[in-house]
């Protein structure tokens, strides 16, 4: 069953003609060329494909586009303000919190949702918020540092906060 789905992705209204059983992950990557959303298992077991849905992190591998019409979807491509990196992106790049970079989009989006509701999280709160995102490269520590740095620079107002 193919259907027309209208999505709001990174502030843009888009319309796609897709099989209804195609997941949001597949549609983002294959129909909208938004390949910044990665995948690691397609079963909800790794967090790699995280996107924001109305500001909340969800796994795009287990979401049907038809179910989220009219909701605001943000992918990694929608995080920077034009060519200006978000404070989280800048901190991840500077500290080497992205090594292979494959988990990074999901990590940044999950952290973004956290900082929007909790602008000054403790290290433990960051760990709990990001516990659904696996990373095999970093040992997570540089990621924790990057989120802390981003939170601090957003508090200063010295960085773009999205």
Partner 1 sequence: MAADDYTLIGRPIPARVDGAGKVTGLTRYADDLFPARLLYGKLLRSPYPHARILRIDTCKAAALPGVKAVITGADLPRPFSIMPVNQDEHALAIDKVRYVGEPVAAVAAVDEETAEAALHLIEVAYEPLPPVMSIEEALAQPDNRIHTYNRVGNVHRVVALEFGDVEAGFAEADYIREDTFFFQGNTHLPMEQHAAVAHCTPDGQITLWSATQTPHYVHRALAAVLDIPPSRIRVIATPVGGGFGGKSDPFAHEFCAVKLSMLTGRPVKICLTREEVFYAHRGRHPVLMWIRTGVKRNGAITAMHFKSFIDGGAYSSYGVATTYYTGALQTVTYRVPNYRFEGLRVFTNKPPCGPKRGHGTPQPRYALEVHLDKIAEDLGLDPVQIRRPHLAKPFSMTVNHLRITSCALDECLDAVVKRSEFLQKHRRLPFGKGVGLACSAYLSGAGLPIYWNEMPHSGVTLQLDRSGSVCVFCGAVDIGQGSDSVLAFTVAEELGIDPRDVRLVTADTGITPVDLGSYSSRVTFMAGNAAIVAARQLRERLFAAVAEHWGIPARHLRAAQGRIFAVTDPSRSMPFAEAVQRAEAKFGTLSASGSYTPPPLAGKYKGHGVGPSPAYSYTAAVAQVDVDPDTGWVTVEKVWIAHDIGKALNPYLVEGQIEGSVYMALGEVLMEEQVFRRGVHKFPSMLEYKSPTFLEMPEVETILIESLDPEGPYGAKEAGQGPLLPVIPAVANAVYDAIGVRLDEIPITPEKVLKGLELRAKGQVARLGPRGIPAFAFPPPRCVEVPEEWLVHLPDAKTRRP
Partner 2 sequence: MLRLPPFTYLQPRTLGEAVRLLAEQPPGEAMAVAGGTDLYPNMKRRQFEPKYLVGLRRLPELRFLHGDARQGLTIGAGMTLTEVSTHPQVRQGYPALATAAGLVSTPQLRNMGTIGGNLCLDTRCNYYNQTYWWRQAIGFCLKKDGDTCWVAPGSRRCWAVASSDTAPVLLALQAQVTLLGPQGERTLPLAALYRDDGIAYLNKGHAEILTRITVPPAEGLRMAYVKLRRRGAFDFPVLGVAVALRLADDGTCTEARLALGAVASAPLLATEAAALLQGNRLTPEVIEAAAAAAFRPARPLDNTDLTLAYRKKMVRVHVARTLYQLAGLAAPAAL
Our CB check for partner 1 shows the closer of 66 and 140 to be 140
Q: How far apart are CA 17 and CA 27, in angstroms?
A: 10
| Contact characters 71-90, partner 1, x per CB under 8 A | ----xxx-xx----x--xxx
User: According to CB under 8 A, which one of 14, 64, 66, 137 is a site residue for partner 1?
Assistant: 137
R_g over Cα of the chain: 15
Could you give the residue ranges of the DSSP H alpha helices within the chain? Answer: 24-26, 87-95, 104-117, 123-130, 141-156
CB 3 within 8 A of CB 64: no
CB of 48 to partner 2, least distance (A): 11
Identify any residues that bridge with 51 across adjacent strands, giving them in sequence order.
58
All residues at 6 or more sequence positions from 108 whose CB lies less than 8 Å from its CB, including other chains: 76, 79, 86, 88, 89, 92
CB 66 within 8 A of CB 5: yes
Question: Residue 56's binding partner, choosing from partner 1, partner 2, none, with beta-carbon cut-off 5 to 8 A by kind?
Answer: partner 2
Site of interaction with partner 2 (CB under 8 A): 1, 3, 19-23, 25-26, 39, 41-45, 47, 50, 53, 56-59, 61-64, 66-67, 110, 128-129, 131-133
CB of 72 to partner 1, least distance (A): 18
CB of 91 to partner 1, least distance (A): 9
Task: Tell me which residues in 2-41 interact with partner 1 (CB under 8 A).
Answer: 29-30, 33-41
Our CB check for partner 2 shows the closer of 81 and 131 to be 131
CB of 156 to partner 2, least distance (A): 27
User: According to CB under 8 A, which one of 14, 64, 66, 134 is a site residue for partner 1?
Assistant: 134
All residues at 6 or more sequence positions from 101 whose CB lies less than 8 Å from its CB, including other chains: none
């Amino acid at each position: 069953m193919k259907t027309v789905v209208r999505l709001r992705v990174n502030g843009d209204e888009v319309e796609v003609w897709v099989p209804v059983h195609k997941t949001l992950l597949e549609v983002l990557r294959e129909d909208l060329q938004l390949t910044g959303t990665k995948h690691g298992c397609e079963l909800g077991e790794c967090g790699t494909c995280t996107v924001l849905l109305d500001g909340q992190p969800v796994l795009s591998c287990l979401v049907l586009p038809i179910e989220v019409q009219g909701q605001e979807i943000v992918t990694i491509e929608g995080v920077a303000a034009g060519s200006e990196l978000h404070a989280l992106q800048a901190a991840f790049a500077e500290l080497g919190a992205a090594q292979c970079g494959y988990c990074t989009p999901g990590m940044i989006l999950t952290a973004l949702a956290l900082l929007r509701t909790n602008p000054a999280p403790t290290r433990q709160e960051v760990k709990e918020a990001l516990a659904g995102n696996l990373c095999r490269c970093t040992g997570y520590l540089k990621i924790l540092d990057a989120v802390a740095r981003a939170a601090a620079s957003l508090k200063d107002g010295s960085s773009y906060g999205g």
